[in-house]
Structure 1
Amino acid sequence: MDDKHRCGWAGSNPLMQQYHDTEWGVPVHDSRMLWETLMLEGFQAGLSWEIILRKREGFRAAFVGFDPKKVARFGEQDIERLMADPGIVRARAKILATIRGAQIFNEMADRGEDFAAYCWSFTGKPIEGSINDAQTPLSAAISKDLKARGFKFVGPTIVYAWMQAVGITNDHVPACFRKAEIADQANSR
């Protein structure tokens, strides 16, 4: 029996526990992975994260490994293919937002702007958060900046969930076994 103390949201579901124990809150510094996670958080809007995790490999296949250069070139045929794909969340607005998000990612790169450097520019390092918050002034500021760049499905609540997922904020509850581990990883970087 597993006697680790985890954040309550991980529950007893093995998929959610695995995600909690290995990914959630670990600082991500890879531009493509930061973008992928932001896009998946957008798809999660109105749904549970468990649904997205169950479909994550389907999303990766459908969006060609979340390669921004490839996704940016998706056209109407690709959109129709995605709308018919039961392996993903089939929401036209979210699909279009992901394609546009890839184009913005590439436009930033063309200007010499690294997406990871941009994402971390708001804090410089992981910060302590409060898992009780659905959004913060910082997530509102990042949301506003992302929207100004043209990203969609990046409201303050989605952005805060993304910040938690990619380790910009360490929101593991104090009693969670991952809280100190994540803090140690962030400090050793």
Structure 2
Amino acid sequence: MNVLDPALLKFSSLKHFLLSFELDSGHTVKRLIALGFLTLFLLYHIGYLGYYWYSMKQINEEWLVRVDVTPDMKHISIPITLPYWSDQSEYRPSHGSITINGKQYRTVLEKYSQDAIHLIVAEDYAVQELNQSISDWIKMMNTSDSEHSGKVNLLKSIAKDYLADTHDLLPEKLFKLTETSFFSTSDMLTECYSTITTPPPQV
């Protein structure tokens, strides 16, 4: 019966431990590298969402404390009849946003008088710059996919002869809006039937 040297047993156990530790360390490093690349990928493609949310939060907080009327602000009247609303003699603070001719404005003061809502608004340059930066970001990302545009155009040209015409699915295209005193009512859905304009190829 062979008796193993205790020192040899300790050395063998230590060697086995070191080998297993090296394997575990290798797997851990690979996982960390993969996680790092995944994080960079997500930040590159959807990181602007977090940036946009945080920036909008900061802008809104700044506007909450801005109530001073300055000469560069504009007065806007929106004719509207609100039942059971009495005329207001003084303006009151307002915190909201409105788009006029493609530009962003912030409502600073408002009042209801003579069947109209009167607003004192200031142009929101911060939001316009933020929207422009996000738009530039998205354009830059789409530019990297430009090599696929040829394939997309080819598929469009092939499908053009055999698929039905496309239709706008925007709400303003699907619904006919009828303006009332305050709310907008929707009529019936406009017909959006598809017809095949060309016959299929003959076999």
TM over 0.5: no
Flag the structure with higher helix content: 1
Shorter chain as normaliser: what TM range?
under 0.3
TM-score, length of structure 2 as denominator length: 0.22
Larger radius of gyration: 2
Flag the structure with higher strand content: 2
